[in-house]
Structure 1
Amino acid sequence: MPSPVASGQEIMVPLFNAESAGALVHVNWQQNLSQRKADYYALTADNITTGEQVPFFIAAEYYKSSMAANPNHITKIGELIEGEGYKLKVDNRLQYGQKNAQGELRFIVYHDKGAQTLPAGKAAEMAKAFGVGAAGDQLMNQVKAFVGDYLHTF
């Protein structure tokens, strides 16, 4: 089992390419009696520290080239490594979801934490949409036991 990504490690997020940006995942949920929705890109980031890969979800408005003026855009928070992507330090700007307390199937989410508090069930749907197949099903089954558990901040 790969070791879960941890605070202080560095990851490489691929450069935005409209043709290969990955699947756009549409997430809907209810928060404070209001309907919420957001779009995320499902990517694979390289954990530079460990040499492993980690599922990475990024809010569309933080990744799409047309939205680069956003102060939280990946171009503003990551160090551009020409031809490769954006190097980010794992810190409290990022959140994560996982199957269990041991960090199994951990994935990272970069979005507006204040406006978008995703319940873990919706986070698990994101992981399943990422294409982790049976692992996504496992994550969904685990999360059903923890309804109301939210993404965690590094």
Structure 2
Amino acid sequence: MSSPVQSGHEILVPLFDGDSAGAPVHVNWQQNLSQRKADYYALTADNITTGEQVPFFIAAEYYKSTTTANPNHITKVGQLVAGEGYKLKVDDRLQYGQKNAQGELRFIIYHDKERKPYQHRFIETAVGSATAGKAAQMAKAFGVGNVGNQIMDNFKGFIGDYLHTF
């Protein structure tokens, strides 16, 4: 089992490329008795500290090239590594989800923390809306061998848990 990303680690978020990032995934949830939704990009970031990869979800408005005026945009909070991406220190700006208290299948989310979706909303949405190639990439990032029921079986531990802040 890979070691979960921790506060203080450094990660490398890939440069925005509309072709390789694919279409954003639509995450829906209920908060304060109203339906909410937001678009996220499901990526794989490099954990520079450990040399491993980690699933990373970033709010579309913090990532797209057309939204760089946003004060929380990745270009404003990350350190540019030319030709590769943006280096971020894992801190309380980021949230995470995981399968259990041991940090199994931990993934990172960078978004407005006023949003309160359950962890499983990211998993279901990313896997369910992915193309075959992207689904295989997400399955690998979440540490499962093949796509399908096995993925959702692995994530039953996420049901009903809110995201955690580093």
Q: Following the alignment from structure 1 to structure 2, what is the Cα–Cα distance between the partners of residues 16 and 2? A: 26
Q: How does 1:1-154 map to 2 (within 5 A)?
A: 1-114=1-114, 116-126=115-125, 128-129=127-128, 131-132=138-139, 133=147, 136-144=151-159, 147=160, 149-154=161-166
The aligned length equals: 150
Q: Which amino acid aligns with 1:128?
A: V
**Residue 25 of structure 2 contacts residue 126 of structure 2 at CA under 8 Å; is this kept in 1?**
no
Structure 1 position 125, deviation (Å): 1.8
- What is the CA RMSD across the aligned residues, in angstroms? 1.6
Structure 1 stretches of at least 4 aligned residues deviating more than 4 Å after TM superposition: none
* CA positional deviation for 1:23: 4.2
* 1:126 CA displacement: 4.1
Mean alpha-carbon deviation: is it higher for 103-112 or for 123-132? 123-132
Gaps of 5+ in 1: none
Q: Write the letter of the residue equivalent to 2:151.
A: G
Distance 1:60 1:15, change over 3 A: same
Tell me, in whole angstroms, the C-alpha distance in 1 between the residues paired with 2:107 and 2:44: 10
Consecutive unaligned residues in structure 2, runs of 5 or more? 129-134, 140-146
Q: CA deviation at 1:119?
A: 1.2
Instruction: Give the Cα separation in 2 of the matches to 1:127 and 1:107.
Output: 12
- The share of aligned pairs that are identical, in percent, is 69
Change (3 A) 1:23 1:55: farther
Structure number with higher helix proportion: 2
Question: Which secondary structure state, in structure 2, belongs to the residue aligned with residue 3 of structure 1?
Answer: coil
Alignment partners' CA distance in 1, 2:5 and 2:125: 18
Q: How far did residue 106 of structure 1 move?
A: 0.5
Question: What secondary structure, in the 3-state scheme, does the structure 1 residue paired with 2:127 have?
Answer: helix
Deviation at 1:142, TM superposition (A): 1.7
Q: Report the AA paired with residue 42 of structure 2.
A: A
CA distance in structure 1 between the partners assigned to 2:95 and 2:151 by the alignment: 18
1:127 positional shift = 5.1
TM-score when normalising by structure 2: 0.84
Q: Do the aligned residues in 1 keep the contact of 2:98 with 2:105 (CA within 8 Å)?
A: yes
Q: How far off is 1:110 after superposition?
A: 0.3
Q: Distance in 2 between matches of 1:102 and 1:109?
A: 18
- CA distance in 2 between counterparts of 1:7 and 1:22 reads 28
Moved more, 95-104 or 129-138: 129-138
Q: Distance in 2 between matches of 1:16 and 1:81?
A: 13
Given that residues 12 and 87 in structure 2 are in contact (C-alpha distance below 8 angstroms), is that contact kept between their aligned partners in structure 1? yes
